[in-house]
Amino acid sequence: MNEIPAGRSATPTLPDAAYERMAQVLRAGLAVSLGVLVGSLVVHLVRHPGTTAQQAIAQNPILAYLTASGLAQGLANGTAEAYLTLGLLLLIATPLLRVASGFYYFRRGGERGMAAVTLTVLAMLLIGILVIGPLVR
């Protein structure tokens, strides 16, 4: 019969503070990304007042900023479309950070099963974004 070491329960659980920190990651990421998106959208609309949604979609104003160098240059120049791209990237990164923090806390808390599931979800998200996404584009 396997005995449980002293100080350990049969079913490890994370402290409430860990769950709260993981929720804070989502809240902060969402707030920052929405702030960047709304601010840059307002600037874009002020600079291009006559542009319709159809024209914007046809022009794809963020296309030039989908590379690291293009994004860095656009941010340095203060281009609203570069900041729109940054806001979208932050919005995408938010759940990735949440899943990564979940893996960290589950692993740290000794919940191997949940850590494995969380790591699998993180891997699937990264494969979808970094491998499958570019193939679809």
Note whether residue 80 is domain-resident.
Answer: yes
Kindly tell me the burial class for residue 74, based on how many C-beta atoms sit within 10 Å of its own C-beta (0-12, 13-18, 19 or more): buried
Q: Which amino acid is at 14?
A: L
78: containing domain:
16-136
Note whether residue 120 is domain-resident.
Answer: yes
Note whether residue 66 is domain-resident.
Answer: yes
Q: How confident is the model at residue 57 (pLDDT cuts 50, 70, 90)?
A: confident
pTM here is 0.74
For position 1, what pLDDT does the model report? 47
Burial per residue of 112-124, b for 16 or more beta-carbon CB atoms within 10 angstroms, e otherwise: eebbeebbebbee
The number of distinct structural domains making up the chain is: 1
Q: What is the mean pLDDT of the chain?
A: 86
Q: How confident is the model at residue 119 (pLDDT cuts 50, 70, 90)?
A: very high
- The CA distance from 77 to 87, in Å, is 16
Note whether residue 110 is domain-resident.
Answer: yes
Render pLDDT for 22-52 as a digit per residue (tens, 0 to 9). 889 889 999 999 999 999 989 988 888 888 8
Note whether residue 4 is domain-resident.
Answer: no
Q: How confident is the model at residue 10 (pLDDT cuts 50, 70, 90)?
A: low
